Amino acid sequence: MDKVVATAAEAVADIRDGASIAVGGFGLSGVPNELIRALHASGAAELRVVSNNCGALDSGLATLLAAGRIARVTGSYIGSNKEFARQYLSGELEVEMIPQGTLAERLRAGGAGIPAFYTPAGVGTQVAEGGLPLRHDGHGGVALASPPKEVREFDGTPYVLERGIRTDYALVRAAKGDRHGNLVFSRSARNFNPLAAMAGRVTVAEVEELVEPGAIDPDAVHLPGIFVRRVVALTAEQAADKRIEKRTVRG
């Protein structure tokens, strides 16, 4: 099946207000910027986003966040995104903070059809015991706190139960993809993109290089096309648009 659609706008046209969306990317690496721009232009609001971070430097999800289009973020890193922190502390945004490895496994589990799993990460903390602020009241207090989670002991070690994540949509970026949706990711972009893609019921991929079926060695495929519904080919200019959050120079 040829899954290529002509434009990013067409690829995200059916995403409505209130949709849940898993978004790939690690920092500013491998972020599906064109799909996010198209979603911003569509006007969709009250979005529930699952992503490692929420963009930075007015890039990636930061554009949707600044426009007030995101209602809830499930992630593991706020970083230097001051608007993210401001909205969270003022009570404008609901945020579920998750240990990074747990977030990755929750996405993978959801995509693999595993409803829940046990992990030692978070045992003995508010991650397991509850009480983490999901929403602040804007006056220094907590309007909504996380509930406690089930903790069970295996071979003398306690583990906390975490739920797999499934979302309505997923937006990802790949270095290479074919018309059947088979994808290859580059370096750091591989950290969360395949997992986000697995978690989405409708996954849309923007690809820097579009090739014909068979051009990718099956052994080189990082994510099979069974997980991908739509593919958007980037222009050379769009593919080259890669930002660096903190540039460092060493002699």
Q: Give the span between the Cα atoms of 198 and 172, in whole angstroms.
A: 10
Calculate the CA dihedral of residues 28, 77, 147, 45 and round it to 10 degrees.
-40
More confident residue, 249 or 70: 70
What's the confidence (pLDDT) of residue 28? 87
Average pLDDT over residues 234-249: 85
Domains of the chain: 8-115+164-239 (3.40.1080.10)
Please determine, for residue 64, whether its predicted confidence score (pLDDT) is greater than 90.
yes
Question: How confident is residue 171, by pLDDT bands cut at 50, 70 and 90?
Answer: very high
Question: How confident is residue 251, by pLDDT bands cut at 50, 70 and 90?
Answer: confident
Nearest to 63 by CA among 85, 41, 30: 41
Query: Looking at the whole model, is its pTM more than 0.75?
Result: yes
Q: Give the mean pLDDT of the chain.
A: 95
HSE, side-chain direction, 13 A CA sphere, residue 83: 16
pLDDT in tens, 100-154: 999 999 999 999 999 999 999 999 999 999 999 999 999 999 999 999 999 999 9
Please check whether residue 206 is in contact with residue 173, taking contact to mean a CB–CB distance below 8 angstroms.
Answer: yes
Q: Give the span between the Cα atoms of 22 and 166, in whole angstroms.
A: 8
In angstroms, how far apart are the furthest CA atoms of the chain?
A: 58
Please determine, for residue 245, whether its predicted confidence score (pLDDT) is greater than 80.
no
Q: Give the span between the Cα atoms of 51 and 100, in whole angstroms.
A: 10
pLDDT in tens, 10-59: 999 999 999 999 999 998 899 999 999 999 999 999 999 999 999 887 88
Measured between alpha carbons, how far is residue 55 from residues 58, 65, 212, 220 in Å?
7, 9, 32, 29
Q: Give the span between the Cα atoms of 79 and 29, in whole angstroms.
A: 14
From the number of C-beta atoms within 10 Å of its C-beta (0-12, 13-18, 19+), residue 223 rates as buried
The alpha-helical segments, DSSP class H, found in the chain are 8-11, 33-42, 61-66, 82-90, 100-111, 126-129, 193-199, 236-239
Question: How confident is residue 205, by pLDDT bands cut at 50, 70 and 90?
Answer: very high
Q: Which residues contact 125 (CB under 8 A, 6 or more apart)?
A: none
Please check whether residue 30 is in contact with residue 194, taking contact to mean a CB–CB distance below 8 angstroms.
Answer: no
Question: How confident is residue 92, by pLDDT bands cut at 50, 70 and 90?
Answer: very high
Question: Residue 90, Cα to own-chain centre: how many angstroms?
Answer: 23
Q: Give the span between the Cα atoms of 141 and 91, in whole angstroms.
A: 10
Nearest to 231 by CA among 180, 166, 169, 175: 180
What's the confidence (pLDDT) of residue 79? 78
